[in-house]
Amino acid sequence: MTNRVQIKGATKGYKRGTVFEIEGLGFWEQTSGLYVYLAQFRPVGELEATGSSGSLKLGGMADWVDVKKVPRPAD
């Protein structure tokens, strides 16, 4: 099932290892190797997840990336 999601804060697009904070759903780290730069603030996206893994597509991007749920990163 695909859910519309809101990313908290700014993002610079896709890059392996990027951690996205999704409102109400915690932190998700990109595991796929796609790199696409697109600076956005609080973009809307789509998350299709089962358990602790899934796929994320940010608004303004053509591609989906693989993500996994992770603990809150250390500040």
- Dig out the tokens for 26 from the structure: 């915690």
Residues 13-46 have pLDDT tens digits of: 999 999 999 999 999 999 999 999 999 999 999 9
Q: Would you give the DSSP letter of residue 17?
A: T
* Average pLDDT value over all residues in the chain: 96
Beta partners for residue 67, in sequence order: 30, 54
pLDDT of residue 34: 98
Q: Would you give the DSSP letter of residue 52?
A: T
3-state helix, strand, coil in the chain (%, to 5): 0, 60, 40
pTM of the complete model? 0.94
